[in-house]
Structure 1
Amino acid sequence: MTHSIGRASNTKQQIRLVLAIFLLISAIEIINLLTGRMLNHLGNIPRYVPGLRGIVLGPFLHGSLQHYFSNIIPLCIFSYLLLQYGLKRYMQLTIWIILITGLLVWLFGRPATHIGASGVIYGYFGYLLLAGFLSGKFKLMIISVLVAFFYGGLILGVFPSAPFVSWESHLFGFIAGLAGAKLWAKPSP
C-alpha cells in the first residue's frame, strides 16, 4: 500500500516539475514577445565571445510563437519521460545537453543567432531512444520503443533544411543525448 502511494506522489512531483518547466519557458516567451523579441540577442552566436552566454540562455528563447509552440509540447513530454530515470539523472542530462550542444554549436554552427529548446529536445530524444535499451529495464525499453515510434521522424531534423532552422542544434543535441545515454543509462535511485 505504501509503495503505490509513494509512486503516485512521485508521479505528482514529476508532473509538478514538468508544469514548472512549462511555466518558466512560457513566462520567458511572454516577456520576449512583449519586448519585441529583444531577448533573442542573448542567443548562441558561434565564435563570437559575447555569444557564449547563449550556450545557456539560447534554449530558453524562441523566435516566434510558432517556434515556441513547436518546442514546448515535446519538451514537456520528453521531460516527463526522462523523469522516469530519476530527478538526479534528469538534471545531470539537462545540464550536459545544454552545455555540450551549446558549445558544439558555438564552435561549429553557422554564423547566426541560435535560439530555441530544440537542441535540448533532440538531446532528450537521443537519450530516450538509446538509454532504455542500455538500462536493461523493461519499462524504460518500452519508453524507448514508444519514443522511436511516435517521434522517430525527428531524426530528419539533424540534416540541413530551412535556412532559419538550427539543424546544428538538432544534430549536436542528438549526439549529446546519445553520449549521455552511454554515460548514464542506468536509472538513478
Structure 2
Amino acid sequence: MGGLLAFMWVLEIFDQSTGGSLDQYGIHARELDGLPEIFTAPLLHGGFEHLLGNTMPFAVLGFIVALGGFARWLGASLIIVIVSGLSAWLLTPANTIVLGASGLIMGWLTYIIARGAFDRRPLPIVVGLAVLLLYGGMLWGVFPSQAGISWQAHLGGAIGGVIAASRIHRRST
C-alpha cells in the first residue's frame, strides 16, 4: 500500500508540475474512448488536497483488504475498479472527467463490511463491524451531495465491494 501511495503522490507531483497533463487519463464520462481510463483514474487526483483526503483511508482500508492475501486484494480491487469506473462512466454527465481513488476506497470499505457476512467467520465479522464504526460515515458519499465529488464512482465502488465479497468469500452451504 505504501508503494502504491508513493506512486500516486509522484504522479500528482508530476501532474501539478505540468499543469494537469495527466488529468486527461481520467474517466471521460460517456465517451467510448474514455473506457480504458477506468484503470488509470484511481491513480490520479484533482490536486494535492484531493490526494491528501484519500491517502489515509486508502492506506488503512487497502491494508486491511491486503491482509487477506495478494490474490484476494487484487481480485477485489479489480472488481471494484471496474464496477466503480463503469458507474462513473455511465452515470456522470457527459463532458466530465472523473479522477481519484475514492471509488476504490468506498469499495474496499463495503468489501470489508460484507466479507464477514459472506465468510461467516468471527474475525472478519468483528473487523467488518469495527471498520463500519470507524469509516461508516463515508457511506453517505454514495448520495449526491457536493459538486465536484463523484457520488457515481462512490456508489459503483460500494456495489463493487459487495460483489467482490460475494464472489471471493461466498461459502457453499
Band of TM-score, shorter chain: over 0.9
Alignment of 1:106 onto 2:98: no
| Structure 2 equivalent of residue 23 of structure 1 | 6
Amino acid at match of 2:116: G
How far has the Cα of 1:85 moved from its partner?
1.7
**Structure 1 residue 64 and structure 2 residue 47: aligned?**
yes
Instruction: Select the residue among 7, 15, 30 that pairs with 1:47.
Output: 30
Size of the aligned set, in residue pairs, is 170
Q: Which of 122, 127, 133 is equivalent to 1:149?
A: 133
Which 5+ residue runs of structure 1 have no aligned equivalent?
Answer: 1-17
Counterparts of 1:54 and 1:48, CA distance in 2: 11
Deviation at 1:141, TM superposition (A): 1.5
Asked if the contact 2:83/2:159 (under 8 Å) is kept, the reply is: no
- Aligned position for 1:140: 124
* CA distance in structure 1 between the partners assigned to 2:170 and 2:3 by the alignment: 25
Q: What is the CA–CA distance in structure 1 between the aligned matches of 2:90 and 2:170, rounded to whole Å?
A: 30
Identity %: 29
Q: Following TM superposition, by how much is the alpha carbon of 1:186 offset from its aligned partner in structure 2, in angstroms?
A: 5.9
Please report the TM-score for the alignment, with normalisation by the length of structure 1: 0.85
Cα contact 1:97–1:176 (8 A) shared by 2: yes
Q: Is the 8 A contact 2:87 2:155 kept in 1?
A: no
The corresponding residue for 1:158 is 142
In structure 2, C-alpha distance between the alignment counterparts of 1:129 and 1:90, rounded to whole Å: 14
From 35, 53, 68, the counterpart of 1:85: 68
- Choose 1 or 2 for highest CA Rg: 1
Unaligned runs of 5+ in 2: none
TM (norm. structure 2) is 0.93
Q: Which runs of 4+ in 1 moved over 3 A?
A: none
TM-superposed deviation, 1:133: 2.8
